[in-house]
Chains A and B, each alone.
Chain A
């Protein structure tokens, strides 16, 4: 009897340490943040001394032009980088999907930008964008062209952070779509070739549709990450000039540490969390639907 009871307790014993850490350092902080978003709270106060102000932080945010602009920058940034990266990453995967020597070396080199610290990525790009010692302006100058205000002009700065992000994250999409391409059934490719499909027809009618499940998950993963970008932009522009590159996570950081409005920062974090929850949930639902579909197909196959 005691053995059976011990067995019943085992899963909980295995889960306990992780559960405890997650409860103390992840769930509790998130609940705390939801509560804090209804407070007027500055960093020198204990949370108990802060005044309860209801939804004032939220109403203030929505009427705050700076916040609306930062939300706009975030959405624009996510949309622009994800579409450029999807286009380039999938395109390169289709182009480079050949059986060549050294493909694994190539893949290794391509994941380097993702592995090194975002702080360092920001540092490298800030150096390259430097108005006088940076390589871009040096090159332009040696060609006799005018230098470009990479980080000091609003719209150029936005383009610059997009370029840096595309450099860092296109390989992610490239590697995922290459893996998807290489796991496609060979028979479908051969059948289409025998039917006389050209390279383009193969890509549009066979490869892309078959890759679609992976591509959609990749897109969602990348979109979630695009909302999380912080350090690269922090190091390159710190949100400036003006508010042109101030994405939401930088705004949260500034609101908390510069403006010392913890309640407002918590309200912003909440909104960011809701956006990410929706995206994650979409991915979850999509995965479940795919699994259900695969299971149904298997049943059909077995019956026939």
Chain B
């Protein structure tokens, strides 16, 4: 699948099980998304391929970022849920780490679908890799369909405003979009806030060169000390908060929704504060 040979895939899967620790295979077998005769679900999610492709990610999770995940019991084992977090780090490793936490440190595991920006499908290889790992473009139709199918989704309401903000504004939450709250109200879906500490320091952006961003049709073009947005070996601390439930009309005015969104934003800020207070050093 997606251009990887069967042998490489098998080797990667063994690596996944090794990095995941004892019981990983049994836990991952509890993942049973629908699949057709070609091994994919209607969105192109291929659970076998994902278990191979996750190996290098899992290496980052265990050995490089040495992720500590707290409060995973707050993510419901089944049923629709919106996981809403802060976005940072120039490249979206934070999304990958939150998803990996739900996959390898949660029992039973949950395959979380992150909503990706619509420029991702324009990228060769990345588009295919993401689709086979269950990621979808964040259109309202996709969200509605997945939530009504009882799936877990990861949303960063700050979008690239948060992801690509300069280092000077680290851990300052940017404006939250309102779309996720409309979805939560429309579908009666709980919101699980998540605060990711560490990603802010993985690739400090000194500059954002907009003309280059326009040239490559990227949302931003950050310049980091390493030149590339490749992450430094920071330590991640991910705190999942208690599920929040909201009631009200999905098509209320923006002002009404903003108050509800502010509660989620405060919850994320609280989790961030906790994570920052706990941490003694950026790198360990």
Q: Do A and B bind each other?
A: no
